Amino acid sequence: MARRCRLGIGNRGDQGMIVEIGAFCLILSLILSAAQVGLSVIGRIRRSAVFYGAGEGAAGAAFLMVMIAFAALMYAFVTSDFSVANVAANSHSAKPMLYKIAGVWGSHEGSMLLWCLALTGFGAIVALMARGLPGAMKSVVVASQGSLGVLFLAYTVFASNPFVRLLQPPVEGRSLNPLLQDPALAFHPPFLYGGYVGFSIVFSFAIAALVEGRVDAAWARWVRPWSLAAWSLLTVGITLGAFWAYYELGWGGWWFWDPVENASFMPWLIGTALLHSAVVTEKRGALPGWTVFLALGAFTFSMLGAFLVRSGVLTSVHAFAVDPKRGILLLTILGIAAGTGFGLFAWRAPKLAPGGLFAPISREGALVINNLVLSAATVTVLLGTLYPLIKEALTGQSLSVGTPYFNLTFAPLMGLAFLVLPVGPLLSWKRGDGLGALQRLWAAAGVAVAIALTVLWVQKPTHVAAAVGMGLGVWLIVGVFVEIAERIHLGRASPAEVRRRLGGLPRGAWGMSLAHAGLGVFALGACFETAWKIEAAQALSLNQSITVGAYQVQLSDVVAANGANYIAERGLVTVTKNGKPVCDAKPERRFYPANNQTTSEVALCLEGLDDVYLVMGERRAGTEGQPAWLVRAYWNPLARLIFLGPLLMALGGAVSLSDRRLRFAAPRRAAEAVAVPVPAE
């Protein structure tokens, strides 16, 4: 780091100072995190409230320091201070402000700083706000979170420091990859990292449970808000990423089973399993070891994701900031953290008290099947992602594992989960009435089969799997309504009673219903869009048109449209249906001189739940010497549902999170409640 040299350069000295403050605060946060660990551990050994408080204070201070560092880096990006190597490599003075700010987390170094910000942030919230926790357990949580902080902050300070200065600052920066200059992608990393790193708190709670030998209903209740928050953020993050791929890459795909996507999907799957198994532990005290295992697993997969994405061990369409040397360091961090966690698990988990008994046909039983399928699905994704590496290492043969593999393995597994899903909430705890639950679901089953058959009959060509998937989606959605109807005794009680029950439904129940319905909505959209989208492409001269599905797409004009940091050809495209105007779309083909890159800016015509998706291609020689442009048009039926569904799921998570029972004061009551022997329901 060449700090001194920088100070000599003219009137920007004060600006350089801010960057130096950022670098200083980053180092300070590392020291504070170490103090957080030390103080909390001493506190735990001596059972001293003074040390507990000191450890918590250090956690708060560490977060404050990372926040200052983050703000300093953002300042460097906003003011285009190219003496900072990271800014010079990822920003440009002509870049729009949103992308100057988003550029902070657009690189390896900056994104690790964001990771640390989330890590210390979650630690600080637990340390300073979770007041219902017993001191001893809380101190272990704070110590564990601090240890993770030390690992990742040390990595950021020593191997991935975003504040490294350049001896000779360039006049202009190399700018952010234009594909990343997009609103969906600007907000994608904060959500994604909130989710990834949110699971670190769950991890720390699992460590605390193992150290204290306590996994009970109260513990599950403490963990629940964190896993819900992390899960919801991750859901939004993944959805934004998928939406970005959908309209920025320009061929209408939204999920490629790409290693980077899989890396974000595995923590999500494990997090989903955790949410469900934690319910069993919370309500029935059962499956304590398994729940702790998943709690460790979610963040382990987050770290694995960080390693896979950054190390370049796997080829990916959107691996970014790849650096094999740093990959080894990340793998080491993963090994230390996960090794400690699972080592502790192997040592302490056998001593955990076994939970309550239950029959296979029961709410617990359905949730066990959910966990079984989600675990198998996670293993499938992991295997599909790593198998090429494993096979190449063992046999020297390289092979590919792509979408067709996941369609044949992951999809049927999910089908099984979907089949069981609506039944679960209708079963009672401990011992359920399976036949009774199925009887109450006959309407849902009828509607689902009818929809699947109708789709098969109407849509040519026929795709059986897609129709089955749509049927399952409907089964979930109608199943949710059946479940709510059951809860409020619709048709069995007086209207006044039904209203009272409806008003009395806890937010957690609404959250679950929203999430399950969202999954159904997603299944509907994903199956229909994938099977029955239509594409057309042709080189069009002005006023020529192509037909895609029921739509006529005419290229009316092509104009120059230049932005702050790009020049573009903008097509003025008129979309009509049966002669009636639908929309005027403006797809663009942009050239970013700073990156010497061309990107396509897709135009979407929102037609109800369908998209007419338009891409402007390169200029070609047309007929009769007229210039022509390659225009691609897609009709993506029900495409809106693919992104609405997951957002509904995340909303469900947020609604559950707002449930009064999960507020910070609640755990104390829960803790007392367990102490009293509660008769079984």
Partner 1 sequence: MKRLGLLGWLLVAVLSMGAAADPSERLADPVLEARAKALFPEIRCMVCQNESIDDSQADLAADLRKIVREEVAAGRSDTEVRTYLVQRYGEYVMLKPAFSLTNAALWVTPFAIVFLGLFAFFGLKRSSSAQDQETSLTAAEQALLTKLQASEAE
Nearer to partner 1, 14 or 624 (CB): 624
Residue ranges in 451-510 that form contacts with partner 1 under rule CB under 8 A: none
Supply 237's token pair.
Answer: 């993050």
Does 365 sit near partner 1 (CB under 8 A)? yes
User: What minimum distance in Å lies between the beta carbon of 203 and partner 1?
Assistant: 23
**What whole-number distance in Å separates Cα of residue 148 and Cα of residue 337?**
7
Q: Does 369 bind partner 1 (CB under 8 A)?
A: yes
Report the nearest approach of partner 1 to the CB of residue 137 (Å).
31
Stretch that binds partner 1, among 19-27, 281-289, 438-446, 628-636 (CB under 8 A): 628-636
Among 7, 129, 359, 564, binds partner 1 (CB under 8 A): 359
**Smallest distance from partner 1 to CB 404, Å:** 3
Q: Interior CA angle at 281 toward 279 and 282, to 5°?
A: 60
How far apart (Å, rounded) are the C-alpha atoms in residues 221 and 519?
24
x/- site string to partner 1, residues 512 to 551, per CB under 8 A? -----------------------xxxxx------------
Interface residue with partner 1, options 400, 494, 578, 623 (CB under 8 A): 400
Stretch that binds partner 1, among 43-51, 397-405, 434-442, 644-652 (CB under 8 A): 397-405
Contacts to partner 1 from residues 25-84, by CB under 8 A: none
Contacting range for partner 1; rule: CB under 8 A; set: 123-131, 406-414, 452-460, 576-584: 406-414
Q: Residue 528 corresponds to which amino acid?
A: F
User: Quick check: 636 binds partner 1 (CB under 8 A)?
Assistant: no
As measured in angstroms, the least distance from the Cβ of 27 to partner 1 is 28
Angle at 177 between CA 306 and CA 152, to 5 degrees: 25
Spell out the SS3 assignment of 357-418.
Answer: CCCCCCHHHHHHHHHHHHHHHHHHHHHHHHHHHHHHHHHCCCCCCCHHHHHHHHHHHHHHHH
Residue 419 interacts with partner 1 (CB under 8 A): yes or no: no
Closest CB 392 distance from partner 1, rounded Å = 10
Q: Which residue among 74, 279, 366, 368 contacts partner 1 (CB under 8 A)?
A: 368
Q: Which residues 6+ apart lie within 8 Å of 435 measured at CB?
A: none
Cα 97 versus chain centre, distance: 25
Query: Rule CB under 8 A: which of 225-264 touch partner 1?
Result: 249-253, 256, 258-259
Instruction: Give me the least distance between CB of 198 and partner 1, in Å please.
Output: 27
Can you tell me which of 59, 273, 377, 448 binds partner 1, judged by CB under 8 A? 377
546-605 residues in contact with partner 1 (CB under 8 A) are 595, 597-600
Dist. CA 363–CA 425, nearest whole Å = 7
Please report whether residue 160 would count as binding partner 1 according to CB under 8 A. no
Let me know the angle formed at the C-alpha of 196 by 305 and 101, rounded to the nearest 5 degrees: 100
Residue 76 CA to residue 163 CA, distance in Å, equals 9
> Cβ 151 to partner 1, closest distance in Å?
25
**Degrees (nearest 5) of the Cα angle 283, 286, 288?**
110
Stretch that binds partner 1, among 27-35, 76-84, 490-498, 629-637 (CB under 8 A): 629-637
- Pick the stretch among 161-169, 342-350, 404-412, 486-494 that binds partner 1 (CB under 8 A): 404-412
353 part of the interface to partner 1, by CB under 8 A: no
| Residue of 66, 68, 38, 31 whose CA lies nearest to 54 | 38
In the bound state with partner 1, the residue whose beta carbon lies nearer, of 624 and 681, is 681
Task: Kindly tell me which of 11 and 398 has the beta carbon lying closer to partner 1.
Answer: 398
The distance of closest approach from Cβ of residue 20 to partner 1 in the complex, given in angstroms and rounded to an integer, is 28
Subset of residues 302 to 341 that bind partner 1, contact rule: CB under 8 A: 312-322, 324
Would you state the structure tokens that stand for residue 464, as one six-digit string? Answer: 């059986």
Q: Which of 422, 479, 511, 617 binds partner 1 (CB under 8 A)?
A: 617
Longest dimension (CA), the chain: 89
Q: How far apart are CA 238 and CA 189, in angstroms?
A: 9
Number of residues in contact with partner 1, rule: CB under 8 A?
A: 72
Query: Other C-beta atoms within 10 Å of 426: how many?
Result: 22
Q: Which residues pair with 613 in a beta bridge?
A: 604, 634
Give me the least distance between CB of 501 and partner 1, in Å please.
17
Q: Binding residue for partner 1 (CB under 8 A) from 357, 567, 606, 673?
A: 357
Residues in the chain: 681
Token digits for 6?
Answer: 């920088």
Amino acid at 433: D
Please state the closest distance from residue 379 (CB atom) to partner 1, in A: 6
C-alpha 24/C-alpha 1 separation (Å) is 12
- Of 365 and 508, the one with the shorter C-beta distance to partner 1 is 365
Asked if residue 461 has a cis previous peptide bond (ω within 30° of 0), the answer is: yes
Interface with partner 1 in residues 164-203 (CB under 8 A): 177, 179
CA distances from 24 to 65, 108, 421, 426, 493 (A): 9, 20, 51, 56, 66
For Cα atoms 563, 568, 570, give the angle at the middle one, nearest 5 degrees: 110
Shortest Cβ 604–partner 1 spacing (Å): 15
Among 395, 494, 578, 623, binds partner 1 (CB under 8 A): 395
Please state the φ and ψ torsions of residue 247, each to the nearest 5 degrees: -110, -5
Question: Measured from the CB atom, is 339 or 504 closer to partner 1?
Answer: 504
Tell me if 397 contacts partner 1 by CB under 8 A.
yes
Contact 188, 235 (CB under 8 A): no
Nearer to partner 1, 12 or 174 (CB): 174
For residues 617, 622, 626, 630, the Cα torsion angle rounded to the nearest 10 degrees is -10
Q: Which residue among 13, 343, 404, 506 contacts partner 1 (CB under 8 A)?
A: 404
Nearest in space to 617 (alpha carbons), one of 601, 639, 604, 606: 601
